[in-house]
Structure 1
């Protein structure tokens, strides 16, 4: 019988590359199954206890480590998207997880969907209070709310009435910095965990006529580096929300140096990382 003709060189090369990709897919799937088995063991470990599987600080630390070693044509944003799905798959193994969101803009809903995955249940609520109530009542695992802004009014500033320490800010979206894009904060019924590069939110209640400059100076004098200070006039008081560099704890001696007794740490979140250069 005549010999089967060899495929053209280009087709042979494509077939070899596809076979290599198939082998890599199998290896990646094997590792995903191994990872899921370890997560299942962790979920059943007595040492872990019955606490929430939510660890946004650890997730951010893992992503930073992977991005620091990353190279090649795969975009950094894609790496984050892939691992975000892996994180949420692992969370689902450990128990039910859902999101309550108040998203006045569709972009904020997309932020929540991108961060928590396409199949995570997300319910959009008409007000921040309703979203927070869903978390307080155990109907949702976390709330995703618009990031504080200078345009916030007393009635819409959810951060001014956050039920700390029962609820705390634990993450900021998106993790990959996106200039001029909408941002959101994640609130959960668990304390934030440090990632190694964090920012904390500090709420200060000052006198009614306290100027922003005086509040910023008091923070600086206390050794607290504030990236931004939002000011909200609320009746007989001035509420100031400061984004403080680092992971701030309640026993931090610098807090005692502030001239105002009413100060509350609303939580902390991992500092965002840069995306690919344009």
Structure 2
């Protein structure tokens, strides 16, 4: 049957409020139904051992909703609503705690981004350093660490990306998910997951350069390999190291990386490309 035209809204205030109440009830019914489905899925996952936290799947949900969004509701409101719904679903499926560095300076950004992305009710656990936050994820104390985005001006001690060596740790999300097109992430989420491709992804490469590999030279090498960096930083202390964000989902056996002339190169993670604010 063809779609029926939407009836015009009531014109008097009392009738408008009755209609809004009816819609609220319908939304609540759907949320309860969604919660029941999540509970059923959680039971199946417990039997099969599948991960509950899937940042790639979450990004695809949000992209689909943003693409179909029409009318007066802002894109930021859509993301805020569904981030809380997703967080509630994660809480249904087992203990889910976020590690953050102890509040102060750039670490405040990490806590703020963690709260915005993982919901108001998700427990945050503060650790004295980014390295302790990473260790808590590697040891299973927490599910995810949210850490401030790297900055070339940061001191060596907070440079978590230079010492992220624990087996299985990956950067799996860039925060915030809704951002201006040319903005750099404000924080990254790290977990013990193999990231899933979403169709529009970015990857973080950690490079140990040779003495001849200046920052412009590193950028030129990556661009020649088809991996033009969106941004690139190079640190000299405590040892020379560079970090670059490049476009695309890069698996561990990416052939373009094996041919690059650096003493060592490591994929720190792969994550969904953020969506534009407008």
Tell me, yes or no, whether TM beats 0.5: yes
Structure 1 residue 183 corresponds to structure 2 residue 186: yes
Aligned residues: 265
Q: Who is 2:224 aligned against?
A: 221
Structure 1, unmatched stretches of 5+, are 1-10
Q: 1:47 to 1:143 in 2, by over 3 A?
A: closer
Alignment of 1:237-248 (within 5 A): 238-248=240-250
Question: Matched residues in 2 for 1:254 and 1:261: separation?
Answer: 15
Q: 1:182 to 1:244 in 2, by over 3 A?
A: closer
Q: Who is 1:8 aligned against?
A: none
Q: Who is 2:7 aligned against?
A: none
Question: Matched residues in 1 for 2:241 and 2:25: separation?
Answer: 55
Q: Who is 1:6 aligned against?
A: none
Q: Who is 1:104 aligned against?
A: 104
- Alpha-carbon contact 1:164-1:266 (below 8 Å) kept: no
**Stretch deviating more after TM superposition (149-158 or 50-59):** 149-158
Q: 1:58 to 1:12 in 2, by over 3 A?
A: closer
Question: Matched residues in 1 for 2:42 and 2:131: separation?
Answer: 31
Q: 1:206 to 1:48 in 2, by over 3 A?
A: farther
Deviation at 1:124, TM superposition (A): 2.1
Deviation at 1:126, TM superposition (A): 2.1
The residue matched to 2:231 in structure 1 has which SS? strand
Q: What is the root-mean-square deviation in Å for CA atoms of aligned residues? A: 2.1
- Alpha-carbon contact 1:100-1:131 (below 8 Å) kept: yes
Q: 1:180 to 1:264 in 2, by over 3 A?
A: closer
Q: 2:172 aligns with which of 146, 170, 173?
A: 170
- Alpha-carbon contact 2:219-2:228 (below 8 Å) kept: no
Deviation at 1:137, TM superposition (A): 2.1
Q: Who is 2:201 aligned against?
A: 198
Deviation at 1:155, TM superposition (A): 2.8
Question: Matched residues in 2 for 1:83 and 1:132: separation?
Answer: 27
- Alpha-carbon contact 2:174-2:185 (below 8 Å) kept: no
Deviation at 1:163, TM superposition (A): 2.3
Q: Give structure 1 regions of 4+ aligned residues with deviation exceeding 4 angstroms.
A: 178-182
Structure 2, unmatched stretches of 5+, are 1-9
Deviation at 1:127, TM superposition (A): 1.0
- Alpha-carbon contact 1:107-1:182 (below 8 Å) kept: no
Q: Who is 1:23 aligned against?
A: 22
Deviation string, structure 1 residues 165-191 (Cα, Å, up to 9, x no partner)? 421100111111057797111011112
Alignment of 1:29-178 (within 5 A): 29-45=28-44, 49-102=48-101, 103-105=103-105, 106-163=108-165, 165-177=167-179
Deviation at 1:205, TM superposition (A): 0.9
Q: 1:164 to 1:220 in 2, by over 3 A?
A: farther
Deviation string, structure 1 residues 181-203 (Cα, Å, up to 9, x no partner)? 97111011112222221110011
Q: Which has the larger radius of gyration?
A: 1
Deviation string, structure 1 residues 197-219 (Cα, Å, up to 9, x no partner)? 11100111111452111111111
Deviation string, structure 1 residues 93-138 (Cα, Å, up to 9, x no partner)? 1111011102533343222111111111112222101111221222
Question: Matched residues in 2 for 1:109 and 1:177: separation?
Answer: 17
